[in-house]
Structure 1
Amino acid sequence: MTYHTIRIETDTRGVATLTLARPEKRNALSALMIAELTEAAGVLAADSAVRVVVLAAEGDSFCAGGDLAWMQEQMGADGPTRAAEARKLAMMLAALDSLPKPLIGRVHGQAYGGGVGMMSVCDVAIGASGARFGLTETRLGLIPATIGPYVVARMGAAKARRVFASARLFDAQEAVQLDLLARVVAPEDLDAAVEAEVKPYLSCAPGAVAEAKALIATLSPTTGTEQIEASIAALVTRWESPESAEGVAAFFAKEKPGWVG
């Protein structure tokens, strides 16, 4: 199977590495990448030879959030089109979140917006020291809506309040405090740390692992259809606001919107 924005490589143990492969765009989530990640999640879920999946990224950044070209398209779209595009992102995240294989995040560089969402659907994420994170949507007059169910499920509401609306950047140590990362290691130790998370699963029954993950979802139904639909509706409403029009336009014009003090 040929992909243009991602890669899948599986070793002899059944450890598949799903790599975001748009380094020239800091692995920003384009419409094509969202579609390919959704398809890849289905392929990996159905492959009985795959025991564990590592989510990684090429280049200097894990994922810079939404692709700028995609954002420009949304500026001129109508409500139903915006909702449809948001739903594609939501379904991609849902597919990774419900993957019946352990999903281990290998995080380095920057993870903003949708990148934080990608981290939040991992079962565990390990970060390299020096990494930077942020939910930066409100700077543009937008909100972290579609990723919201997964980010809040990961952090909990109390911790999400620290960073969800302020758009401030934070480092890897704070990402641990917020429960986005399990731990932080030196960049040269990142692969070994990820391997340490992978290895225990290779001694476990694959079916039992899948059912254990499914049980967690059953016991913690915080990212169901109701939450996803609410997040899509909230994003469409926000896209239609005067603030979002001003904020996105100012961003592309490299100007400051009126609310900047």
Structure 2
Amino acid sequence: MNQTDNVLFEIDTRGVATVTLNQPEIHNAFDDKLILQLTDIFTSVSSNQDIRVMVLAAAGKSFSAGADLNWMQRMATYSYEQNLADADALAKMFFILNTIDKPTIAKVQGAAFGGAVGLVACCDMAIGSKLSKFCLSEVKLGLAPATISPYVIDAIGARVAKRYFTTAEVFSARRARRLGLLSEAVVEEELDSTVENLIEHILKNSPAAIRAAKQLIFDVQNKPLSDALLATTSEKIAELRVSDEGQEGLNAFLQKRRANWIKE
């Protein structure tokens, strides 16, 4: 396990990586140092093909309260150029998390405010406690949720984003589930088991096919239906059918046996 004071990084024997925000005393608020640590970890997860799935979790009562107070105090004294560099680092972290080539699951308890909503939105799936609460609070500080906006808007839609970006209302896990920010909202006692159930499903599937399926979404989303898009999707499935894992998966199905990527 690779461990720092602020974030824990663990990979188990199944290839499940768990990244845990580990500052419960400040409700896992993040600053520029933690952003760089998370960027490094997310980059290593993306490049490590032994990792099959990543869980983003947090210690303590809260998932994350967003930006750390001391960091905000420093930002208030920064020049435009310093603020731009700071924002670029934050935007890079969100982009890397969003584009990790294997499934990512956010496990959310307690508060997820400000930039923490971006972390949740960047993950492919998010399981929240029914007691978790969310808030896009930036406008209360005279700011806007700029670097997280592409991912939050993608998760909840532009019309809903107009409301919560401008009202800074706190909304419930039930509302987050209805809006699409959470995949499921469960009682706190079922948080771990619900995440584990998703992991078990993922581990039954072809790693290469999962990577291709995630990339397919980026390639197809918001593209016009055209001959070029149809050709692209046909090429992708043809490539997968003749690939090693495609052949193994098809033969395992026809022979009624486990595929070789499924561990006993």
Provide the TM-score with structure 1 as the length reference. 0.82
Aligned to 2:245: none
Displacement after TM superposition at 1:158 (Å): 1.6
Q: Give CA-to-partner distance per residue, 1:204-251, whole Å, 9 cap, x none.
A: 1111111211121122379xxxxxxxxxxxxxxxxxxxxxxxxxxxxx
Aligned to 1:118: 119
Aligned to 1:5: 6
Structure 2 CA distance, aligned partners of 1:84 and 1:218? 29
RMSD value, Cα? 1.3
Structure 1 CA distance, aligned partners of 2:5 and 2:154? 31
Report matched runs for 1:84-233 at 5 Å. 84-220=85-221
Structure 1 CA distance, aligned partners of 2:31 and 2:24? 12
Displacement after TM superposition at 1:173 (Å): 0.3
Displacement after TM superposition at 1:2 (Å): 4.5
State the one-letter code of the partner of 2:172: D
Distance 1:21 1:221, change over 3 A: farther
Provide the TM-score with structure 2 as the length reference. 0.81
Aligned to 2:260: none
CA contact (8 A) 1:160 1:178 kept: no
Aligned to 2:28: 27
Q: What SS does the aligned partner of 1:189 have?
A: helix
Aligned to 1:47: 48
CA contact (8 A) 2:24 2:59 kept: yes
Structure 1 CA distance, aligned partners of 2:22 and 2:222? 32
Whose Rg is larger?
Answer: 2
Displacement after TM superposition at 1:162 (Å): 2.6
Q: What SS does the aligned partner of 2:131 have?
A: coil
Aligned residues: 222
Structure 1 CA distance, aligned partners of 2:222 and 2:8? 31
Aligned to 1:73: 74
State the one-letter code of the partner of 2:139: T
Structure 2 CA distance, aligned partners of 1:8 and 1:149? 26
Structure 2 CA distance, aligned partners of 1:162 and 1:125? 21
Displacement after TM superposition at 1:171 (Å): 0.6
Displacement after TM superposition at 1:148 (Å): 0.9
Q: Give CA-to-partner distance per residue, 1:36-72, whole Å, 9 cap, x none.
A: 0000011111222210001100011001111111111
Structure 2 unaligned spans of 5+: 224-264
Displacement after TM superposition at 1:146 (Å): 1.1
CA contact (8 A) 1:5 1:32 kept: no
Structure 1 CA distance, aligned partners of 2:221 and 2:121? 15
CA contact (8 A) 2:3 2:9 kept: no
Q: What SS does the aligned partner of 2:145 have?
A: coil
Distance 1:221 1:22, change over 3 A: farther
Q: Give CA-to-partner distance per residue, 1:73-122, whole Å, 9 cap, x none.
A: 11111111101100101000001000011001100000000110000001
Q: Give CA-to-partner distance per residue, 1:142-192, whole Å, 9 cap, x none.
A: 111111111111111022123111011011000111110011110001001
The structure whose RCO (Cα within 8 Å, separation 6+) is larger is 1
> Which 4+ runs in 1 deviate beyond 6 A?
none
Structure 2 CA distance, aligned partners of 1:110 and 1:86? 23
